[in-house]
Amino acid sequence: MAQISFSQITKSFKDNHILKGIDLEIASGEFLVLVGPSGCGKSTLLRTLAGLEKMDGGDIKVNNKSIKHVEPQDRDVAMVFQNYALYPHMNVAENMGFALKLQKKSSQEIKNRVQEIADLLQIGHLLERKPKELSGGQRQRVALGRALARQTSIVLFDEPLSNLDAHLRSQMRVEIKRLHQALKSTMIYVTHDQMEATTMGDRIAVLKDGRIEQIGTPSEIYHRPKNLFIASFIGSPEMNFMEGGLLHRLPWPEAKKPGQILGVRPEVFKIHQGSLLSHELELGHFQVELSENLGGQQMLHGKVEGQNVRILADSVDQFYKDQRFPVKIDLTKSQLFDKSSGLNQRL
């Protein structure tokens, strides 16, 4: 396993500043996810660790030793790319064992290691097939197996599931997490998909415009977003944002200041029945405009106190257009943001 430290990493392409002083500590054996919109610098940061991009400034240390001037092949790093990049003339076993062959490992050692990883990935029956004979999900498993066969202390993933359909992505998320638990390598996973980030990471680092906006566990990022960007980016559907006179009814001193925004996730709204608890606030009546069936739940779109909101409800309940009912929110799960700075006032 390997502990990794990024210190003041900067990188530019001509006048385009991609990384703007990144500081990040990754614990040995951790599964860290780098998430953010396209162009935020997450893949570039990953490639600096692999040695595929040279930093303009800063340093990267692995187990307290700088790797700034270490060649990519000597960094004890394996990488899984979005593109499978399998050799079409080689079968699965040859693709998975190719890096070991370059390392002058014995044929028996290569065979044993390939079989071990193939069994772990449940592709042992595919070892004699060529890439063209495989499905997309099988090719991705082979690409993953090729990286893992090298037995490196660090494994990097650069949006490896982007080419798969939703069902396969869901399967592969579970497989990769199981592999992490079994191998205990330090793993860094890049994605723009917030669902992948929250379901896979021990911790998440949210990037925007070349800077880290927040680092924390999936629960911390979801329930205590540092700013408006994170609140809107993490969560599907995103948080509801409400303004206006209702903020003056909040029991928080900060809510009385001008330019405040109340943030409420769809599941925090509750149909008001019975007496209010001390940590709850009653809003006006919600008027239903339409409902989206999500399977076990449904998303109600409508208005409360003149503002558009979405409420998550049980799918067995029946709602109809223009139906009205009172709603309340749990204040312990609600956020308050300053409109000008974007910062969460309740942290």
What CATH number does the domain containing 278 carry? 2.40.50.140
Same domain, 135 and 249: no
Which parts of 184-318 fold into alpha helices (H)? 194-200, 218-223, 228-233
> What is the C-alpha to C-alpha distance for residues 292 and 290, in angstroms, rounded to an integer?
7
Same domain, 220 and 284: no
Same domain, 217 and 319: no
Same domain, 122 and 204: yes
Same domain, 291 and 224: no
Number of folded domains in the chain? 2
Asked whether residue 344 is domain-assigned, the answer is no
State if pTM tops 0.85: yes
- Name which residue leads in pLDDT, 271 or 20: 20
In CATH, what number is assigned to the domain containing residue 95? Answer: 3.40.50.300
Asked whether residue 202 is domain-assigned, the answer is yes
Q: For the residues of 286-334, what is the DSSP string, one character each?
A: EEEEEEEE-SSEEEEEEEETTEEEEEEEETTS---TT-EEEEEEEGGG-
Q: Which of 208, 233, 258 is the last residue before a domain boundary?
A: 233
Confidence of residue 81 (pLDDT cuts 50, 70, 90): confident
Same domain, 190 and 281: no
Phi, psi of 213 (to 5 degrees): -85, -35
> What is the C-alpha to C-alpha distance for residues 156 and 180, in angstroms, rounded to an integer?
12
> What is the C-alpha to C-alpha distance for residues 289 and 114, in angstroms, rounded to an integer?
56
Asked whether residue 253 is domain-assigned, the answer is yes
Asked whether residue 346 is domain-assigned, the answer is no
Asked whether residue 287 is domain-assigned, the answer is yes
Q: Which of 115, 94, 116 is nearest to 182 (CA)?
A: 116
Instruction: Find where tokens 């449904």 sit.
Output: 298
Same domain, 263 and 214: no
What are the pLDDT digits (tens) for 122-135?
899 999 999 999 98
Same domain, 114 and 81: yes
* Weakest mean pLDDT among 61-65, 151-155, 208-212: 151-155
> What is the C-alpha to C-alpha distance for residues 311 and 343, in angstroms, rounded to an integer?
24
Same domain, 9 and 88: yes
Is the separation of the CB atoms in 330 and 276 below 8 Å?
no
Range of the domain at 268: 240-338
Q: Which of 193, 216, 233 is the last residue before a domain boundary?
A: 233
The chain-wide mean pLDDT, for the chain, equals 93
What are the pLDDT digits (tens) for 28-54?
999 999 999 999 999 999 999 999 999
Q: Which of 211, 233, 255 is the last residue before a domain boundary?
A: 233
Is the separation of the CB atoms in 8 and 25 below 8 Å?
no
Same domain, 216 and 177: yes
* Weakest mean pLDDT among 18-32, 72-86, 103-117, 227-241: 72-86
pLDDT of residue 269: 94
Nearby residues of 102 by Cβ (< 8 Å), 6 or more positions away: none
Same domain, 140 and 186: yes
Same domain, 138 and 276: no
